[in-house]
Amino acid sequence: QVQLVESGGGLVQPGGSLRLSCAVSGVILDYYAVGWFRQAPGKEREGVLCSSRIDGNTYYADSVKGRFTISRDNIENTVYLQMSSLKPEDTAVYYCVATFQVRRQCQLLSSAYDYWGQGTQVTVSS
């Protein structure tokens, strides 16, 4: 059984930083594309960034370029999202995602991912 469990969400002031973790079990992360999505109240779910195991690249939504990074620990089977220079518009529920990767590039499309975490709330407010 595949499970993704996020942690690390919370309240942070504008301009601050936060790191989310995603513990993955039931798969060997080496073979998987991983990423993060988010959904703000009243808005559609948005792909934030993804990490491709095949071409080794990270793909970003324009809204987070230069502020968010993703990393993975294939030994600990954990994925991280480091967020900095946070803005109120980054407020959302953040979801960790994974899929067995066959394409060269990972994609920022919800339909591309088979496995989802339960989400963790990030609130950016003063």
Please write the tens of the pLDDT for every residue from 9-58: 999 999 999 999 999 999 988 899 999 999 999 999 999 999 999 888 99
Give the per-residue pLDDT at 28: 87
Least Cα distance to 81 among 114, 119, 44, 113 occurs for: 119
DSSP 29: G
Q: Residue 74 pLDDT > 90, yes or no?
A: no
Q: What Rg do the C-alpha atoms of the chain give, in angstroms? A: 14
Exposure string over 1-27, b if 16+ CB within 10 A, otherwise e: eeebebeebeebeeeeebebbbebeeb
Give the per-residue pLDDT at 33: 95
94 CB-near residues (< 8 Å, 6+ apart): 6, 9, 20, 36, 37, 38, 48, 81, 119, 120, 121, 122
The rounded distance, in Å, linking the Cα atoms of 37 and 35 is 7
